[in-house]
Structure 1
């Protein structure tokens, strides 16, 4: 069964990836702090959602990252 992702999870992961892009461009303490905050938000949301739908957290996380980083044309 495919994991259905919420818009919130997708937006959180995109925000984390965007924050990481800033770190790569300008690796300042502030940029790292912002990225760590976004990444922590993603982890908390993934953990809660995985428990809610009864799927392993790592499977939800992998599906999310794949969907955000390698979107399929619809």
Structure 2
């Protein structure tokens, strides 16, 4: 089933938020090569990384399906989705 454009935007937003979480954990814990992470820190980071990876993969498949169904190049749909997310973040009227 092909997602709607709004669903693609929601998936992009979720993937972006998961990526921010991974980056935040990396910044908080420090580089694992410089600082020994505890088992809890390692597990927390790995869980966050897997969530981001899975969301990004799901988004990629959904964008590809949507583009194919609409007869558009995938990179064009991807750019439109990113632009819509950015517009929302900037407080766009359609958000």
Unaligned 5+ runs, structure 2: 27-44
How well do the aligned residues superpose, as a CA RMSD in angstroms? 1.4
1:11 CA drift (Å) = 1.0
> Does 2:17 match 1:26?
no
What are the Cα deviations for residues 13-34 of structure 1, in whole angstroms up to 9, with x where unaligned? 1110111111111131111111
The TM-score with structure 2 as length reference comes to 0.67
Structure 1, unaligned runs of 5 or more: none
Classify the secondary structure of the residue corresponding to 2:72: coil
Match status 1:41 vs 2:58 = yes
Distance 1:66 1:24 in 2: 22
TM-score by length of 1: 0.84
User: CA separation in 2, counterparts of 1:65 and 1:32?
Assistant: 21
Task: Give the paired residue count.
Answer: 70
Please report how far the alpha carbon of residue 73 of structure 1 lies from its aligned counterpart in structure 2 after TM superposition.
2.8
Larger Rg, first or second structure (1 or 2): 2
